[in-house]
Amino acid sequence: MVEPERVLHSVMVIAFERKGIIDENLKIINAVQKELSLGNDEKNDALNHIKKFRGVGDWSGKRDAVVSVAIDRIEEAVEIKLINNPSIQNALKKLIDVTLNQQIPRNNSLSAFEDSEDDTNKNNLQLELNDDTEIESDMKENNPQENTIINKNSLSISETDDFEDFDEDIDPFDLIGGRNPINQQNNSSTYRDPLDELMDEVDDEVIEIETIELNSDNDNKLVNNKKNVEPKNERLEMYRMMLDTVWVDDLIDPSEVALLARKRKELDISFETHMKLVREMLEDSD
Amino acid sequence: MKTVFRTALEIAWADGSMSKKGALIIEKLHDAMKLENSLREKIEEEFYNEILNSRAENGERGEGKGDTELESWVNSLIDNLEDDELEKQVLYLSRRCVEIGLSKEKWLFGIKFTKEFNQSNTFAQGVWMEKNIQVEYNDFLKILEPLANVLNSN
């Protein structure tokens, strides 16, 4: 089970990335902190970790991986009812959706240079992380008895007219492909899990080799080929980043250990390498 | 949080001196644990600096009577070291400590403790889910009791 401290850390990561700066007083953070019954020590631990590793926002070039892991944890916290307040659940879902929307590459490679603020407002749900007065109406409807908490602590969300077009039922993991990469081909979204993106660079080449030379349907062989071609340093850095986040509150739990074990297999990282990285991480933290 | 060999040294020097018999038992334990010489040197150096140095400065001397207790303690530990249950219990302890939340401090102690008798890799494999065991244990071999106590503490 994901630890409450790590859920708060993940919410802070996503909220900061959404806002573009570190602001520990965001309402969503305070709301989640209260919902998880966490004190300021836990919040400060998470904050210090983020400050240490976020840099200017690129997370040493692994921003997408960090965001992906954070989303994973928040989703799990909601699924297992660690976060049980419907208003907060709703706010987090929207925050995740908007974060994912932001990450979807545009069809037009020049569009990033062409977007005006107005265009952005038309296309996206607006999350006003700092607005003390605006309260999301559907958050109240979802849980009227929690209005006091919402008013004091919740993330404020306003919608544009186009918000109704936004699919409320969409699973963020369908967008990032974290749970079922096979379905990604049929997904209109072009966003890919950063781990998969690393492999994409060699994907076509591997399939071609598979068809012409091997003529085999052996998926394992294909996966192994990808791992061999993938830059080792990239994989190690990706894994190191994940490893570093699991001890953010000084405790590891089974869900994190399981996640790391899965990633070791996916990234073809040996246990010996893992142990070396653990030692390095502990030495760094000393 | 003391390891096995460190505890053995403390028992052997309990009254301020170590007898020849005590020294022989220490060697017997060293061999049974297959303790690396470099690691032993480090443990003895720490023990000297933390315990013996101050005793020497104070002129404390004993009769090496710790050897009697050391002998019975070491004999039971040597049996444990040859027990097939040892590896399984290390695996169980390592899995269990993750379930209740494993801190960096406990991780480091677990590795340090088990390294003395060449079970640190087993401990690490259990923690990081490289190996699993279905058996549950309530009681542990004597050699593992200090580790179990530390890992189960808050």
In terms of CA atoms, which chain A residue is nearest residue B105? Answer: A250
The answer on pLDDT for A201 being more than 70 is no
A285 contact residues in B (CB cutoff 8 A): 104
In terms of CA atoms, which chain B residue is nearest residue A275? Answer: B124
Residue with more model confidence, A110 or A238 = A238
Minimal Cα–Cα distance from A274 to chain B, Å?
Answer: 9
Residue A214's pLDDT is 40
Residue A130's pLDDT is 42
In terms of CA atoms, which chain A residue is nearest residue B122? Answer: A271
Q: Are A256 and A239 contacting, i.e. CB atoms less than 8 angstroms apart?
A: no
Q: What is the pLDDT of residues A91-133, one digit of tens each?
A: 888 888 878 776 644 343 333 333 334 443 333 334 444 443 3
Q: How far is CA A31 from each of CA A62, A82, A192, B60, rounded to the nearest angstrom?
A: 27, 13, 30, 61
Model confidence band, residue A63 (pLDDT cutoffs 50, 70, 90) = confident
Model confidence band, residue A173 (pLDDT cutoffs 50, 70, 90) = very low
In the numeric block, the tokens 């960090």 are attached to: A66
Average of per-residue pLDDT values in chain A: 64
The answer on pLDDT for A265 being more than 80 is yes
Q: Are A236 and A269 contacting, i.e. CB atoms less than 8 angstroms apart?
A: yes
Calpha distance A109→B5 (Å, rounded):
65
A261 vs B: CB within 8 A: yes
The answer on pLDDT for B58 being more than 60 is yes
Report the interhelical angle of A27-35 vs A4-19 (nearest 10°): 170
The whole-angstrom distance between residue A279's C-alpha and the CA centroid of its chain comes to 26
One-letter identity of residue B47: F
Q: What is the pLDDT of residues B95-129, one digit of tens each?
A: 999 999 899 999 999 999 999 999 999 999 999 99
Most A CBs within 10 A among B127, B129, B153, B154, hence the mutation to make, goes to B129
Q: How far is CA B37 from each of CA A218, B27, B44, B143, rounded to the nearest angstrom?
A: 49, 11, 10, 20
Residue A234's pLDDT is 83
3-state secondary structure of A279: helix
In the numeric block, the tokens 């993938």 are attached to: A230
Q: How far is CA A173 from each of CA A11, A96, A183, A229, rounded to the nearest angstrom?
A: 16, 10, 11, 26
Number of residues in chain A: 286
Q: Token digits for A269?
A: 């990282």
| Interface contact flag, A257 B125, Cβ < 8 Å | no
Q: Token digits for B15?
A: 């009254």
Domain ranges of chain B: 4-81, 85-151
Residue A197's pLDDT is 40
Residue A221's pLDDT is 46
Residue with more model confidence, A5 or A62 = A5
H/E segment holding residue A127 = strand A126-128
Residue A286's pLDDT is 62
Q: How far is CA B29 from each of CA A119, B34, B98, rounded to the nearest angstrom?
A: 75, 8, 30
A251 contact residues in B (CB cutoff 8 A): 101-103
Q: What is the pLDDT of residues B85-102, one digit of tens each?
A: 999 999 999 999 999 989
Contacts of A199 (CB under 8 A, 6+ apart): A226, A230
A260 contact residues in B (CB cutoff 8 A): 128
Q: What is the pLDDT of residues A34-59, one digit of tens each?
A: 889 898 888 888 888 888 788 777 77
Minimal Cα–Cα distance from A253 to chain B, Å?
Answer: 5
Calpha distance A228→A98 (Å, rounded):
35
Q: How far is CA B13 from each of CA B6, B38, B63, B113, rounded to the nearest angstrom?
A: 11, 21, 9, 20
Model confidence band, residue A228 (pLDDT cutoffs 50, 70, 90) = low
| Interface contact flag, A254 B99, Cβ < 8 Å | yes
In terms of CA atoms, which chain B residue is nearest residue A265? Answer: B130
Residue with more model confidence, B102 or B61 = B102
A80 vs B: CB within 8 A: no
**Which of A127, A84, A69 has the alpha carbon at shortest distance from A248?**
A69
| Interface contact flag, B127 A257, Cβ < 8 Å | yes
Model confidence band, residue A152 (pLDDT cutoffs 50, 70, 90) = very low
One-letter identity of residue B85: E
Percent of chain A past pLDDT 90, that is, above it, reads 7
Q: From the list B101, B105, B124, which residue is nearest A275 (CB)?
A: B124
- Kind of pairing, strands A251-252 and A156-158? unpaired
Model confidence band, residue A142 (pLDDT cutoffs 50, 70, 90) = very low
Provide mean pLDDT across the span A276-281: 89
B128 contact residues in A (CB cutoff 8 A): 257, 260-261, 271, 274
Average of per-residue pLDDT values in chain B: 92
Minimal Cα–Cα distance from A270 to chain B, Å?
Answer: 10
**Which of B69, A150, A227 has the alpha carbon at shortest distance from B77?**
B69
Q: Are A127 and A17 contacting, i.e. CB atoms less than 8 angstroms apart?
A: no
Q: From the list A253, A282, A285, which residue is nearest B101 (CB)?
A: A253
SS3 letters across chain B: CCCHHHHHHHHHCCCCCCCHHHHHHHHHHHHHHCCCHHHHHHHHHHHHHHHHHHHHHHCCCCCCCHHHHHHHHHHHHHHHHCCCHHHHHHHHHHHHHHHCCEEHHHHHHHHHHHHCCCCHHHHHHHHCCCCCCCCCCCCCCHHHHHHHHHHHCC
**Interface residue ranges in chain B relative to chain A, Cβ cutoff 8 Å:** 98-99, 101-105, 107-108, 124-125, 127-130
- Give phi and psi for A36, each to the nearest 5: -90, 0
Indicate whether this model's pTM tops 0.90. no
